[in-house]
Amino acid sequence: MGQNSSITFPKIASCLRDILKERGITYRALADMLQVSEGSIKHFFRKKDGNVGEISRICEVLDFSFFDLVLRAKEHRAPGSQLSPAQESFLIANPHHFDFLDELIMNKGKVAEIQAKYQLTDASVRRYINDLEEASFLEVHPNRIKLLLKSPISYSEGSSMPKFVAKRCATRVTQFLFSDENDLYRKRYVTRTAMLSQETGNLIIAKLMDIGKEIDEKKRHECAIYPIEDLERFEIFVGVARDDDPPRDIIDL
């Protein structure tokens, strides 16, 4: 497939990669289906050019029309990344891998900085990277790591990921807010326990939901107009617990 074609091989490969993610098929699984090595599959997706025979063979084992693939590539706009159900299950089952991947995304794949920040052993770093590559979150190249996720990241319908991500965010935020660091530029928090009327409680909840919508709107707008290096990361957790008898941390002594 020549580079002068309006539908380039990288577009075709990107669409095939999307199909694998949608179906929860790893590179290793595809290699087994094609009866080739996993390395040859990784090489295929890294190449700058390929031939129709290779692409047709992959379409055949995936039971996906070559014609439909070409149409999909023609319309491809790389709108972002949607995690496959298999990827979602992997992250939920491996929260430390989720945090490592999150750091990779924020640090643009700079593994050495993450290793130094968290004082990780070489063996741990290799395991994180190998596991994430196996789950199709990244590709390992000789001198760099290529992340396969593009913002915005979305989830499948009915996914447990939004709740999982919210819990991880809340944990990080509370740990930092109540740490010994006293840098008021980096953290602010307000906590209240109050007896309120139902009307007032509903009003406060509505205001908090509006804050969430405003944050989402600002995020979309500023990510579109500013280079990522000009933006700061803010971890924001806003919540209300309505409970007539909230549990306390009381144990037998």
CB neighbour burial string for 5-41, b if at least 16 within 10 angstroms, e if fewer: eebbbbbbbbbbbbbbbeebbbbebbbeebeeebeeb
What's the pLDDT at 30? 94
Beta bridge mates, 139: 146
Kindly indicate the confidence band of residue 4, based on its pLDDT and cuts at 50, 70 and 90: very low
Q: Confirm whether pTM is higher than 0.85.
A: no
Mean pLDDT of the chain: 84
Q: Rounded CA gap, 236 and 170, in Å?
A: 8
Two tokens, residue 177? 């807010």
Helix or strand holding residue 146 (H, E): strand 144-147
Given a cut of 50, whether residue 3 has pLDDT beyond it is: no
What's the pLDDT at 134? 95
Fold of 80-180: Arc Repressor Mutant, subunit A (1.10.10)
CATH of domain 9-78: 1.10.260.40
Beta bridge mates, 153: 81
**CA 143 from centroid of its chain's CA atoms:** 23
Two tokens, residue 66? 């070559």
C-alpha distance from residue 96 to each of 108, 135, 209, 233 (Å): 18, 14, 29, 20
Q: Rounded CA gap, 229 and 63, in Å?
A: 42
Least Cα distance to 237 among 185, 184, 187 occurs for 187
